[in-house]
Amino acid sequence: MITAISYKSKQINFKEKAFKKTLALSAIIVVVILLAIFFTLLINSLPSLKAIGLKFFYQTTWDPVSDQFGALPFLVGTLLTSFLALVISTPFSIAVAIFLGEYYKKGPVAEIFKNIVDLLAGIPSVIYGFWGLFVLVPLVRELEMKLHVAPYGVGIFTSSVILAIMILPFSVSLSRQVISMVPSHLKEAAYSLGATRHEVITKIIIPYTKSGLFAGLLLALGRALGETMAVTMLIGNTHDLPTGIFSPGNTMASVIANEFTEATGRIYTSALIEMGLFLFVVATIINVIGKQIIKRFTLE
C-alpha cells in the first residue's frame, strides 16, 4: 500500500501566488517605464511648447543663439529620408519576401537566406554609418558629379540608401510570414485554372496579403523615422531646409543626438525634448496602426 502523502496546501498556494505576482509585476514595470518616458518628455517639453508654440512646426530657422527654434527643416529631413528609404527598400523587400515565403519556404537555401537577412538587423548602426562613409559617400559623389549637382556625397539620398538597407530585414520578416500563410487551397485553385507561378503570385498571393505587406512596410517606416546613428554620420547635419534629395539635411533624431550635450538654456533643451516627444508619438502611432493591421490580417 502507498502511504498517504500529506500535501501542505498552504505552501503550494503561496508559491503559486508569489510566482504569478512576480510575473505581473514585471509586466507592469514595462508599462510604467513606457509611461514614465512619455511623461518625462511631455513635462520637459512644456517650456518650449509654451514659448514657441506651433511655430515649432512651421518655422525654418533653427538658431539657438537668437532663441529661434523652428524644427521644420528637421521634420522635412526626417520624412524625406524615411519615405525615400521606404521607396528604395520596398521592391527589394517584397521580392525577397516572395522568394523566401513562396519559392524557398524550407530547406538549406531558405535557412541561409533567412539568417543572412536577420543578420542585417543585428549589425550595429554605427557600422552602417562607417560603411556608408567609406563606400556609399564616394559612389554618391560620383553620381552627383554625373548629374551636375553639388557633389557633397553626404546628404538625404545617401542616408536614405543606408536606411533602406537597415529597414529591409524588418519588412522582409513580416512580409515573408504573411506570404507563407496564404492557404495552399487557394494557390491550388489558381494552378488548376492554368495559372503560372508568376500569375499566382501577382494575382492571388499579393492581393491576398496586401494588408499584411502594408503593415510590414509601416513597421519598417517606424524604424526608419527613429534611426539615429547611421543617419547622423551620413546626412551632412545642416540646419537649412533641404532643397532636393541630394542636398544635405538633418533629421529630428540626429539633431537631438548632435546637440543635446551642448544645449544651453532652458528653451533650447526643452525644444530638443519636444522634438523627441514628437518623434515618440509619431513612431508609436505608426507602430500601433501596423500592429492593428497585422492583427486583423491574422484573424481573417
Q: Binding to another protein by residue 190, rule CB under 8 A?
A: yes
CB 106 → another protein: shortest distance, Å?
10
Within 10 Å of residue 101's Cβ, how many Cβ atoms? 23
159: nearest Cα among 182, 133, 121, 197: 133
Grid cell digits, residue 80: 524625406
Element (H, E) at 68: strand 68-69
Q: Which of 15, 105, 203, 291 binds another protein (CB under 8 A)?
A: 203
Q: Binding to another protein by residue 188, rule CB under 8 A?
A: yes
Q: Binding to another protein by residue 186, rule CB under 8 A?
A: yes
Grid cell digits, residue 35: 509611461
Give whichever of 190 and 282 is closer to another protein, judged by the CB atom.
190
Q: Binding to another protein by residue 299, rule CB under 8 A?
A: no
Q: Binding to another protein by residue 111, rule CB under 8 A?
A: no
Q: Which of 191, 257, 258, 260 binds another protein (CB under 8 A)?
A: 191
Q: Which of 189, 281, 285, 288 binds another protein (CB under 8 A)?
A: 189
> What is the three-class DSSP state of 242?
coil
Rounded Cα gap, residues 48 and 138, in angstroms: 40
Q: Binding to another protein by residue 204, rule CB under 8 A?
A: yes
Q: Binding to another protein by residue 192, rule CB under 8 A?
A: yes
- Number of residues in contact with another protein under rule CB under 8 A: 19
Q: Binding to another protein by residue 105, rule CB under 8 A?
A: no
Rounded Cα gap, residues 128 and 159, in angstroms: 10
Rounded Cα gap, residues 235 and 228, in angstroms: 10
Radius of gyration over every alpha carbon of the chain, rounded to an integer in angstroms: 25
Please give the residue ranges that form the binding site for another protein (CB under 8 A).
183, 185-186, 188-196, 199-200, 203-204, 207-208, 300
